Structure 1
Amino acid sequence: MKTATSQIRPAAMLGLMACLTFAAGTLPLTSAAQDSTRTIATGSNIPLSTNAPDEYMVKPGDTLWDISRLYLRDPWYWPEIWYLNPQVANPHLIYPGDVLKLIYIDGQPRLTVAERGGGSKRLSPQVRREPLSRAVTSIPYDIIAGFAGRPVLLDKEQVDKAPYVVALRDEHMIGSAGNEIYVQGIPDAAVDSRYSIVHVDGKLRDPETRDLLGYTGIYVGGGPVARAGEPAKLLLTQSVREALQGDKLFPESTDVKDDFVPHAPSSDVNATVIAVREATVMGQYQIVALNRGSQAGLEPGHILAVSERGKVVRDKYKRGGLGADNISVMGGGSKVQLPDERIGLVMVFNTTPRMSYALVMEAQKEIREGDSAANP
C-alpha cells in the first residue's frame, strides 16, 4: 500500500494547501465570510460561490473539484484562493474529516485547513503517514483508472507499441472465456499478472488535417498470465466478445497520474472532440478524446469549455415583414451562422503530443463528436 511520507504529491499542494495553524503562530479566522463582496481581492474579480460556507468538513468521496465548486463559481480558479503557509515545508494531503475554513488575510479570502480529522487538533509542520487511497483526489480516481485498465480510446503510438495476440491454442480462430492465448510483447510479465484485451476498431483523424491520431477500441476481455516468456501464455477468464489474432493487450492495473490541480490553460486552445467513450453522446464523468495534446500546450488539469457548434441557417425574412409574400422561395435567403453555445466543462487528465483525454465535469447538454473545446 502506498503511503504519503516526506514526498507529498502536488494534488494537495494546492490540495487545499495546508494553510495550517501551527505552534509558531496561528492564522486569525474570521467568524463569517464577507457577504458584502464575495469576490477575491486579487484584481481578477473572481467571484466566490453565492453559497460558499465559512466552514466545511471534507467527506468521503469528495474531490478537489467538488470542494472548489463549493467555494468558487468557476472551480478552475482555485489556485487563486488556496493559500500555502510558507512555514510548512511539505503541505499535507487533504483527508475526509478535515475541516476547512474560509478566512480573510489582508482583506483577501483564503481557504485553510483549520482542523485535522474533524477534531480540534492543533496543526504543526510534520510528516503525516496515511494510505494515499484515503486522500482527496482532483477527480474520481476509479473512473480514470478504469479507463486506463480498459482503454477504448487509443493514440496511434500506444497501439503501435502494445503487445498483441499472436495465436490461440489448439489452432482456434477465435477465443472466449476458458481459452488460452499466446501473446507477443510481454516477455517480462509476471505469472498471474492480469491484462485486458482490446480490439482496435475505427480510426481517429484530426478533422482539420485528416492526420491519423489514434483509434477507437472495443473491450474484449481479460485474464492472467499463465506462463511467462516470448510468447507468453494468457488464460482468458472473462470475455464479452471474441478474441482475435492481432488484438492488443494492456495491463489491467496501472499507475494513474491524479496529482494535478484544475486550472485554465495559459495560452489559447482551440480543440475539437474527436471521439467519445462507448457512446455517441456524453454526460458527466464520461471521457472524450480531443485533437490537441501537449504540442498545443495542453497538460493534465487543464479545464476547457465545450461548445456546441452553431449551425448555418437560411434567413428568409431579411426584407422584413411577416406575410407570406415576404418569405423567399424554398431554399432561398442568405446564410446566417448561429453562434456556438457553451454546454459543458471538461478536465484534461492525460495527454500525448497530438491528442488528449478529458473527463466531462459538467454538462448541460449531450457532448458529441464535433463539439469545440476552448479556454473557459
Structure 2
Amino acid sequence: MIPNKRLRIHLSPILAGSLLILAACSNKPINDVEKAPVVNSPAPEELVRNEPVEIENSEPMPAAPEQDVPMASPINDGVPDRYVVKKGDTLWDISSHFLKDPWLWPEVWHVNPKIRNPHLIYPGDVIALTWQDGKPSISIVGAEVESIPLPATNLVTVKLSPSAREEKLSRAIDTIPKSAIAAFLRRPFILEPSVLDKSPYIVSNYGDYIISGRGARIYVRPILDASILHYNIVRKGRKYIDPDTNKLLGYEAINLGSARLLKLGDPATLVVETAYKEILKGDVLVPVQSEELDLNFYPRAPDRDIAGRIISVAEGVDRIGQYNIVVLNKGISDGLKAGHVLEIHQAGKIVKSPRGRFRIRLPEERAGLLMIFKPDEKVSYGLVMEAFSELAVHDYVYSP
C-alpha cells in the first residue's frame, strides 16, 4: 500500500500575486459562477420575416414614363404591295396572302368608288396594299390589261386601268373553293327533327318489291308541289346529340340516291335516277337544293363569343383535314353567319399519371381554322380552311 501523504501545491510568487489581486477586485467569491441571461429564441416565421426599414429624408423614385406599345402589324412580313388575281383564286387565298389572320379582311378592305361592283373581285384585278396614317388599306386599283416584256431586263410593265373591268358577275371569285363543298350541294348531312317529320316518304314501288333500284318507279306520299322535280333519297341514321347540352340536334342523313318526279299526288309517282344503296319502304325524300349557294361573303370574326363542338364530318371519315366539311352544334340562334371564321382546338388527350392510378386530361391545342358557309337554326356547316394537325369529331371551336 501507498502511505497517505499531504498534497502540497507550490505556486510561483508571480502567480500567487495575480490571484490575490483578482480576489480583491471581485465582490463575489471566486467559486461563484454568474449565469448568462436567458434570451427567448424568435419564432421560426420571425427568422424569415423582413421588417421594413425607414430611411429618413428619402424621396420616392420617379415613375417611368409611359410608352406607347406599338401594335403588331396584321400584314404578313415581306408581302409585295401588289397582287394580280389569278383564275382559281379565292378570297381566302388573297386574304391569307396579305394578312396574318385572314378573318381581319373587313378591317383592311377599302372599297374603291371608281370601280364598278367594287365588292366583287375578278381574275386580272390588281389589288394594292397601301398605308394611311400608319394603318394598312387594301383595295382594287385597276385591272391588268397589258404586259410588255423588256428584252434588256426581262421586266414586265403593267398598265392599269382604274375602271376597265367588264367581267361577268358569274366569273367573280368565290370566298371558298366551290369544288370543296360540292358534296354538300348534292345532299344534306343532318336532318333536323322538324324537317324529318314533314318530309315525304316511300310507301311502295311498282311490283311491290322489297328493294328499289335505279330505274324503279316508287310511290311517295305526299308530294303536291309541282315546282320541285328532283329529290334526294335519304334514310334516318344515328342521332346527333349536343355534347354540351345533351339535347337532340338532328339525325344523320344516309345518302341512298336520287329520284325525279313523274306525277303529283298522294301518293306521287317518281323514278329512281341513281341508287348508291338499297332503297327501302319508309326512306325519306328531301328536295335537292335548287338555289345557288352564295359564296360571295367576307371572312370575318363572329360578332359574339362562340364556343362549340364539331359533331360530324362529311363522307363519314374519322379524321378531319383541310377542305373537309364539318357540322357544328351552333347555328343561327347562336349568332353564326356565313363567312364567320372559327378557331379549331384539338381536344386534350387523357393520359395516365406517372404518380398514381388516376388519369389527367391534357390542355387543348390550337389546331386549325374553319369558315361557316351555311348556317341553319341549330347547326352550321363549315369548311376547314387550315389544319395544323389531325382533327377529329368533338374537337372544340371558338371565336378567334
TM-score under structure 2 length normalisation: 0.72
**Aligned positions, number:** 317
Unaligned ranges ≥5, structure 2: 1-69, 147-158
Cα offset for 1:307? Answer: 1.1
Kindly report which structure 2 residues correspond to 1:227-306, keeping only aligned pairs within 5 A, or say none: 227-255=263-291, 256-277=293-314, 278-306=316-344
2:246 maps to 210
| 2:162 maps to which of 117, 123, 130 | 123
Matched with 1:77 is: 104
**Hey, what's the Cα distance between the residues in 2 that align with 1:228 and 1:44?**
64
Q: CA offsets per residue over residues 177-230 of structure 1, 9 Å max, x none?
A: 111112234322358x32221122111001122211011122111132222334
Measured against aligned partners, the alpha-carbon deviations of 1:258-278 in whole angstroms (never above 9, x if no partner) come to 232111112221101111112
Look up the match of 2:60: none
Structure 2 contact 350–360 (Cα < 8 Å) conserved: yes
Give the Cα separation in 1 of the matches to 2:219 and 2:73. Answer: 57
Go from structure 1 to structure 2 and tell me whether the alpha carbon gap of 1:190 and 1:79 turns closer, same or farther (over 3 Å shift): closer
The 1:52/1:156 distance shift into structure 2, 3 A limit, reads farther
User: Are 2:215 and 1:188 equivalent residues in the alignment?
Assistant: no
**How many angstroms does 1:340 deviate by?**
0.3
Q: How does 1:1-376 map to 2 (within 5 A)?
A: 45-85=72-112, 91-116=118-143, 118-119=145-146, 120=159, 122-124=161-163, 130-132=168-170, 134-190=171-227, 193-255=229-291, 256-277=293-314, 278-316=316-354, 328=355, 332=356, 335-376=359-400
Counterpart-to-counterpart distance in 2, 1:62 and 1:90: 18
Distance 1:338 1:89 in 2: 52
Say which SS state the counterpart of residue 110 (structure 1) adopts. Answer: strand
2:85 and 2:201 mapped to 1: Cα distance?
A: 44
Q: Equivalent residue of 2:320, what SS?
A: coil
Which AA in structure 2 matches 1:240? Y
Instruction: Output one character per residue of 1:75-123: Cα deviation in whole Å (capped at 9) or x when no partner.
Output: 0111111112357785352111222122223332222212236454633
Identity within the alignment, %: 40
Q: Which has the higher contact order (CA 8 A, sep 6+)?
A: 1
Distance 1:115 1:88 in 2: 8
Structure 2 letter corresponding to 1:114: V
Query: Cα deviation per residue 1:236-291 (whole Å; 9 max; x = unaligned)?
Result: 12111011222222333422232321111122211011111121111111111111
C-alpha contact (below 8 Å) 1:346/1:358 kept by paired residues = yes
Q: 1:205 to 1:142 in 2, by over 3 A?
A: same
Asked whether the equivalents of residues 268 and 375 of structure 1 are also in contact (C-alpha less than 8 Å), the reply is: yes
**1:170 is paired with a residue of what secondary structure?**
coil
Q: Can you list the C-alpha shifts for 1:286-308, whole angstroms capped at 9, x where unaligned?
A: 11111111222222111111111
Residues in 1 aligned to 2:370 and 2:112: alpha-carbon distance in whole angstroms? 30
Distance 1:45 1:184 in 2: 61
Measured on the aligned residues, the alpha-carbon RMSD in Å equals 2.5
How far, CA to CA, are the matches of 2:79 and 2:116 in structure 1? 29
Larger radius of gyration: 2
Letter in structure 1 aligned against 2:162: L
TM-score (norm 1): 0.76
Q: Could you tell me which runs of 5 or more consecutive residues in structure 1 were left unpaired when the two chains were aligned.
A: 1-42, 317-327
